Amino acid sequence: MRVLLVEDDTNLSRIITRGLFERGHAVKAVETGSEAVQSAVTGRFDVAILDWELPDLDGIGVLRAWRSAGVGMPVIMLTGRGEVDDKVTGLRAGADDYLAKPFEFEELLARLEALFRRGALEGPVQLGQVIIDPRKRTVTAGIGVEKLTERESALLLELARNAGEPLTRSQLVDKVWRGEPVNPNVVDVYIGYLRTKLDRLPNPGIAITSVRKVGFRLDIGMPT
């Protein structure tokens, strides 16, 4: 794995870096939010370890900057905050996992490996003329390109993996919002966002269909 480590605690950073290096992974360690944003935008990493408390831009600010810039690498947040609300804040900002301090290195390593495996499986998905790229968070058709938010990308991918099959709102919430306490009707809002973006693409050849009393289905070969 190529790991970006963002941690201003020098001792902890050294321990994590040494542990990952000994297991054959490459690590770039930075101490500030501004360095973290620049490193992720200009470099290539498989996963990131991001501390919440940083001396300039905090971890939430870094996450939002990454996601706004289209940086889609999986991120695990390290923090002393253990409240449920804090975890929800981190996940909604774009984190993929959350580990409260203090922690065992082996647990951190296992979580990183799980994120890496998941990210490796999430390569571009092609349906007809449309290509969905979860890492870049884009959907393209011909010369048309639309940027996606984290939720939009995850929702479109879930529909794409089950193309032709209707999915309920609850199923989509479970997969896309990963257990966060949200109203299933939020799916309708994001379906609206996706339809708007798909409509802006030149002849995408796919459409999101509402299935009465069930939910939504992605159809291929539908007229635009």
Say if residues 205 and 222 touch (Cβ distance below 8 Å). yes
Segments in the chain below pLDDT 50: 222-224
Partners of 196 in the beta sheet? none
Domain 125-220 class in CATH: mainly alpha
Q: Which two tokens stand for residue 129?
A: 């003329």
The model's pTM: 0.57
Residue 102: cis peptide before it, omega within 30 degrees of 0: yes
- d(Cα 41, Cα 136) in Å, to the nearest integer? 12
| R_g of the chain computed on alpha carbons | 19
Tell me the CATH architecture of domain 2-121: 3-Layer(aba) Sandwich (3.40)
* Domains of the chain by residue range: 2-121, 125-220
Q: Which two tokens stand for residue 120?
A: 């490796």
Please give, one letter per residue, the 3-state secondary structure of 55-69: CCCCHHHHHHHHHHC
User: Which pLDDT score is estimated for 116?
Assistant: 81
Scanning 49-134, the segments in alpha helix (DSSP H) are 59-68, 84-93, 105-121
User: Which pLDDT score is estimated for 72?
Assistant: 72
- d(Cα 170, Cα 12) in Å, to the nearest integer? 40
In three-state secondary structure terms, 133 is strand
Q: Which two tokens stand for residue 16?
A: 């994590």
Please count the other Cβ atoms lying within 10 Å of the Cβ belonging to residue 173: 20
User: Which pLDDT score is estimated for 34?
Assistant: 93
Say if residues 57 and 65 touch (Cβ distance below 8 Å). yes
Measuring CA to CA, which residue among 179, 134, 135 is closest to residue 156? Answer: 134
Measuring CA to CA, which residue among 103, 90, 100, 112 is closest to residue 46? Answer: 112
